[in-house]
Structures are given as structure tokens and as C-alpha cells.
Amino acid sequence: MALAIAFTEVFLAFAVLVLVSLYIRNKKDPRYPPGPRALPFVGNLLQLGSRPQQVLTKWAKEYGPIYSIKMGTDDTIVVNDHKLLKELFAENTASGRSQNPIFIAFSGGNYGVVNTEGAHWEVQRRFTLRKLRDFGFAKSSMEGLILDEANSMIHHLEKHMDAPIQGRRLFNGVVVNALWNIVSRERNEWDAKPQPPIMEKMEELVQALNYANTSGLVFAPSLRHVAPSFFGWTRWVNSVHNVMQITNEAVKKHADKLDPDCPEDLIDHYLIEMKNAKDPDSSFYKEAGEKNLKALIVDLFAAGSETTSHTCSWIVLYLSYHQQVQSRMQDELDSVVGTNRLPSLSDRPNLPYTEAVIMEVLRISNILPNGVMHRMLEDVVFHGFFFPKGVTVISNLYKILRDPEIWGDADNFRPERFLSQDGKKVIKHEAFVAFSVGKRQCLGESLAKDTLFLIMACIFQKFKVLADPEHPIPDFEPPPGFLHETKPFKFLVRPRDL
């Protein structure tokens, strides 16, 4: 009996210690942002549901432009105002990356440019930007490469004239080809059957990420320990592994034939940088350099190809329905470019309506509704709120780009909102944050804008795009997912009656 009483006392004492430690651990600075009540272990996961961006936007109305949630057991702060976001993300202290296991698995650890932080990230980002510019980032050589892919899409559409064409994921091939050419100087027949491995595996990767998002795994990664297959962890890890295999093969092939005096692509330049690295602490040194190179390749494809190709599909979907917008854009193209040559980047300043159409699609389609998560590297007091070191920060781009207080008729497709009153100039609205803001603004923004402009201008110069007669009113609501892509839709192309 005495032993049982003693055991009970020890157990109760232990329980009290656990409860006290949990209380101390969860006790927040009084300046920590308020937010909705969270459940143990799962946090606010159940409330977020399959469309978290809409729930986060609803909470912004209740708790204000800065509030907190729990992603599983992780403390998270949500910023819902573009001015606050620009101010916060301009600081180095907010330039960290969330240590979410989903994204760590994506880059194989603290490698590449998307999921890294600190000096390591700065060096890798600076190198990548410099080399992309060397290849003709927004210059003539890059322009020719993109126009080659635009031509391949034109030929594809000509083969399917007046027949329903599936628009969802249609542009993945041309965009992946453009990026793969920059990286490895290789080109695939993107419409071949079966699909080239790089395109097939990238598509599987994005589908796995979307499933992980809708299952709640992205917001509560601890679920991977509960039921890895059910919540999509196994599928995600396998898809990352498959993409990494392709990058491994590409790197090995380049290493075997490398000519340091005549680098041809991004992989060659990176391998040369690795050969020149003598400091063991350098992120280009030996094994670290190899891991960074492989992660960088995956970063470029996952972050660049999917967002750009989805936007192309959204443009086709919106213009197939908004015929007046399409006609006005084509009138502008006819006036400036004519029909005897393809559009070029030098035409862009004289095509403000075409540019405004692309910007409006980027705004309303909202490809990456919650951006890429940041992490605070230091304790910071920001506009009276306490942001502790290590806390995850979500940028609610969905709310900003769809806010009626900013845009007025935010749910209407109206490119004119990005034009001056006389329609002759593009207006850069400060709340246009489709590529995020601050020190970690999208690395490939310029390339994405160039690609969108050239491919879309070429297609609409050549064709009239019509909605599928069987579904004349498209569904503009994206399916649940980490990325906003279109639902499956079909469209027709016909020669323009000039």
C-alpha cells in the first residue's frame, strides 16, 4: 500500500512538472499577436480545412492585419497587409526559412536557394542571379530561346485547330524546356508520348505537394509520423527522390564532359565555381557544393516552371471567356507588331494593354496564395507586436491581391486597373505582390514575366481563342492545393480573321 501511495505521489508530481513546463513553454509575451484558439497537437489545422487561404483571410477581418495561429505545434504569425509585409520582409531578421520538414525534404536539407537562409543563401542567390544574367536574362539570347518554345506551341495548336484542347498543364512542356535549356543546354520534345522524364517527374512532384497541402501535412508536418501514406508524406518523399535522380544524372553527365574554358550552361558554371572553391566553409566546396547544385536545379524547376506554366493556362482560360479583352489585346498587337514578325521584348513598352492583361491574371489567379513561409532569425518588436526568434511568418498574398479595399471590384477581371487614364502606360500598383516582396522576392521574376509576355503575345497574335462550346462559362475557382492551378478545361483555337 505504501509503495502504491508513493508511486501515485511521484506520478502526480511528474504530471505537475509536465503541466508547469508546458505552461511556461506556451506562455507568450503579452505583445505576441492574438489569434483563433488552437487545439492541442493539431493547432488550427482542422479550422483551416482544404482552402486555408480563405480561412486566413476571414481571420484577418476578425483579428486584424497581424495575427497568430498554430500550424500543428508550431507558432506562426500571419501578415495580411502589403505595406506591413514590405516593411517586415525588407529586414534581414525576417529572411529566414521555415524549418518545415516538407520543404527540407524538397531541397535535401539546407541547400539551394529556396529553403536556405543567412550567408549561405545570400551567396547562392547572388551566384544564381549573376549567371542567369550572363546567359541573357531578359536579353536577346534568352528571348530567342523563349521564342523557339513559343513557336513549338504555335505548331502544336495548329495541329489541333477547331478541336477541343485541354488547357490545364498545357504549357508545362514549353516552360520546362526553356528552363532546362538554361540549366543543361538540352531540349525535349515536350508533346511526345510518353512524356520526357523531367516533365513527368515534375508533374508528379507538384501533384504530391498539392496532396500534402490538402491533407494538412504542409501545415502540420508531425502528421508524417502518424500515417505517412495517408497524409502524403511517402508520396512526397518518393516524388522528390525521383526528381533528384534526374538532376543527379544531369550533373554527372556535365562533370564527365566539363570544359572549364567553354562553359555552356548553368551546371557547367556551377561546376567551375566548385573547382575554384578552396575554403572548406564555402557552400561551393566539394560535397556541399554538389548538394547545393542539385538542390538549386530542383528549386529553379519547381519554383519557376510550375508557376509560369499555370499562369499561361489561366491567361488562356480568362481570355477564352472575356472576348472583348482578347480583341482589344489583339488590336494592340496588330498596331504595334503587325503580322509579319513575332513579338519581341523590345515591343513591351508599346504594348501596355497586353502587359496589363498579364498582370491582372497574375493578380486574380493568385498562383501562390500564401507565398513561401519565412522564419524570424531574431526577436523583433514590429508595430507593437512581438515576433519571437524562430517563429514562422506567412504572407497572405491571397488576401492582399483580392482585397476590395485596395482593388475595389477585386473579384472582377479588369486589366484596366493597371493602366493610366489614357491607357498608354502601365501603372505599378504597390499592392501588386504576386512575386512576393523584400529580400526574398521571387528569384525568377524577370524571367517569368518575359516568358509570359512572349508566349502569350505570340499565341494571341496568331489565334483567336474560344471557350469550349460544351462549357461556355468556365469555372474560375481553383481546386484545393498549395499552388492555384486551373481545373481541367478545354478551349478552341482558330485562325484570326484580320
Per-residue pLDDT of 254-268, as tens digits, reads 999 988 888 888 899
Q: Using omega within 30 degrees of 0 as the cis cutoff, is the peptide bond preceding 194 cis?
A: yes
- Tell me: pLDDT of 197 over 90: no
Residues with Cβ within 8 Å of 464's Cβ and at least 6 positions away in sequence, in order, are 326, 330, 493, 494, 495, 496, 497
* First-last CA distance in the chain: 99
Q: What is the dihedral of CA 451, 454, 457, 461, to 10 degrees?
A: -140
Task: Check residue 16 and give its pLDDT.
Answer: 43
Task: Check residue 413 and give its pLDDT.
Answer: 97
Q: Which of 206-210, 415-419, 492-496 has the lowest mean pLDDT?
A: 206-210
Residue corresponding to grid cell 524547376: 301
3 state SS of 4: helix
Q: How many CA atoms lie within 13 A of 293 on its CB side?
A: 29
List of long-range contacts for 216-221, beta carbons under 8 Å, 24+ apart = 216/42, 216/45, 216/48, 217/102, 218/100, 218/102, 218/482, 219/43, 219/45, 219/48, 219/52, 219/71, 219/72, 220/42, 220/43, 220/45, 220/71, 220/72, 220/73, 221/72, 221/100, 221/101, 221/102
- Tell me: pLDDT of 8 over 70: no
Q: What tens digit of pLDDT does each residue of 388-404 get?
A: 999 999 999 999 999 99
Task: Check residue 139 and give its pLDDT.
Answer: 53
Angle at 115 between CA 112 and CA 121, to 5 degrees: 60
Look up residue 417 and give its three cell numbers: 486597373
- Structure confidence at residue 19 as a pLDDT band (50, 70, 90): very low
- Tell me: pLDDT of 332 over 70: yes
- Structure confidence at residue 138 as a pLDDT band (50, 70, 90): very low
Whole-angstrom distance, CA of residue 87 vs CA of residue 439: 10
Mean pLDDT over 461-471 rounds to 93
401 vs 212, more confident = 401
Mean pLDDT over 309-315 rounds to 95
Whole-angstrom distance, CA of residue 478 vs CA of residue 490: 15
- Three-class SS of 219-265: CCHHHHHCCCCCCCHHHHHHHHHHHHHHHHHHHHHHHHHCCCCCCCC
Whole-angstrom distance, CA of residue 106 vs CA of residue 99: 11
- Structure confidence at residue 230 as a pLDDT band (50, 70, 90): very high
Look up residue 190 and give its three cell numbers: 515536350
- Tell me: pLDDT of 308 over 60: yes
Question: Contact 67/78 with Cβ under 8 angstroms?
Answer: yes
Phi and psi angles of residue 6, each rounded to the nearest 5 degrees, phi first = -60, -40
Q: What tens digit of pLDDT does each residue of 25-84 get?
A: 456 899 999 999 999 888 998 898 878 899 999 999 999 999 999 988 889 999 999 999
Question: Contact 373/100 with Cβ under 8 angstroms?
Answer: yes
Residues with Cβ within 8 Å of 383's Cβ and at least 6 positions away in sequence, in order, are 66, 84
Look up residue 419 and give its three cell numbers: 493602366
Question: Contact 378/493 with Cβ under 8 angstroms?
Answer: no
CATH of 2-98+138-193+304-495, one of 1.10.630.10, 1.10.230.10, 3.40.50.2000, 1.20.1050.140: 1.10.630.10
3 state SS of 466: strand
62 vs 142, more confident = 62
Q: Which of 3-17, 21-35, 72-86, 440-454 has the lowest mean pLDDT?
A: 3-17
Whole-angstrom distance, CA of residue 459 vs CA of residue 271: 37
